[in-house]
Amino acid sequence: DQPRTTYRRVLLKISGEALMGDQGYGLNPPTVERIAREVKSVHDLGVEICMVIGGGNIFRGLAGSAQGMERTTADYMGMLATVMNALAMQSALEGLGVYTRVISAIPMDQVCEPYIRRRAVRHLEKGRVCIFAAGTGNPYFTTDTAATLRANEMACEAIFKGTKVDGVYDRDPIEFPEAQRFDSVTYDEVLARHLNVMDASAIALARDNRKPIIVFSLDEPGGFKGILAGQGTYTIVR
Ligand code: UDP
């Protein structure tokens, strides 16, 4: 029996580190393919899918600037890292027969499409997975903010944040086994208690546009599809 979902258009946000597998750095192609299969299983249900992938597996602007690089240059390097991750995901999805477009906030025409909102909407309507790369195109932002921005622009019903854990906890569940998971939590509580969901600007942007954020584990096989059908454990921020 196929799980059913009422979602028609969603955005999946994953960190760059999710593509690393057991490596300490970079891309692990079998891991990329595993996540691509999760995306395909949801695409097969007829759900329109946007994706935003971080770049932390390759480069983070803050880390570069802490070591003496000029911050905006370091941030541009981070944005370029997300383009590499997006291309890897495109390759994996197309290997599974899912049509995709990589759409970059920083134009690089030989590599991928520039971001044009109406064109991106059309791709979604035609069933293509849109992978939004280069974050917001601006330094001092993160791909969490890019995910919230694109989810708003594309009128996604929710942001699905795939992580290593099955939701939002009151403290780090890996360090503290007694940590409590929330079934549901408000944006303001996330901000006030500094809960580890997304950075503050992303949370505020989601709150101001009433975009729910569903935090779930991408390590569970079939997890993404199950969560869309309302099964399994997750935390909803709303
Ligand atoms: N970045 C940026 N503007 C954006 C999105 C990302 O400058 O709109 C840079 C920033 O330096 C960040 C890096 O790209 O550290 C990688 O993105 P992020 O840290 O969000 O990746 P994740 O932690 O999700 O892997």
Whether 162 lines ligand 1, by a CB cut-off of 6 Å, is: no
| Res 153 pLDDT > 70 | yes
Whether 199 lines ligand 1, by a CB cut-off of 6 Å, is: no
Residues β-bridged to residue 51: 12, 131
In the chain, the percentage of residues whose pLDDT exceeds 70 is 99
| Res 101 pLDDT > 70 | yes
Which long-range contacts link 109-117 to residues 24+ away (Cβ below 8 Å)?
111/83, 111/87, 112/83, 112/86, 112/87, 117/153, 117/154
Locate the ligand 1 atom nearest the alpha carbon of residue 57 and give its number.
Answer: 25
| Res 3 pLDDT > 80 | no
Checking ipTM against 0.90, whether it exceeds it is yes
Enter the CATH code of domain 9-237.
3.40.1160.10
Other C-beta atoms closer than 10 Å to the C-beta of 128 total 18
| Res 220 pLDDT > 90 | no
Mean pLDDT of 97-122: 98
| Res 2 pLDDT > 90 | no
pLDDT in tens, 179-205: 999 999 999 999 999 999 999 999 999
Whether 65 lines ligand 1, by a CB cut-off of 6 Å, is: no
| Res 4 pLDDT > 90 | no
Domain ranges of the chain: 9-237
Candidate from 103-107, 133-137, 170-174, 179-183 with smallest mean pLDDT? 170-174
Encode 53-92: b = buried (16+ Cβ within 10 Å), e = exposed. bbbbbbbbbeebbeeeeeeeebbbbbbbbbbbbbbbbbeb
Distance from the CA of 95 to the center of ligand 1, in angstroms?
27
**Cα–Cα dist 218/152, whole Å:** 23
pLDDT in tens, 110-151: 999 999 999 999 999 999 999 999 999 999 999 999 999 999
**Cα–Cα dist 173/152, whole Å:** 30
pLDDT of residue 15: 97
Give DSSP secondary structure letters for 34-77: HHHHHHHHHHTTT-EEEEEE--TTT--HHHHHHTT--HHHHHHH
Residue found by looking up tokens 């979604």 in the block: 124
Residue found by looking up tokens 């035609």 in the block: 126
Site to probe by mutation for ligand 1, drawn from 76, 142, 196, 213 as the one with most ligand atoms within 8 Å of Cβ, is 142
Nearest to 17 by CA among 218, 214, 233, 194: 218
pLDDT of residue 1: 59
| Res 217 pLDDT > 70 | yes
Distance from the CA of 6 to the center of ligand 1, in angstroms?
31
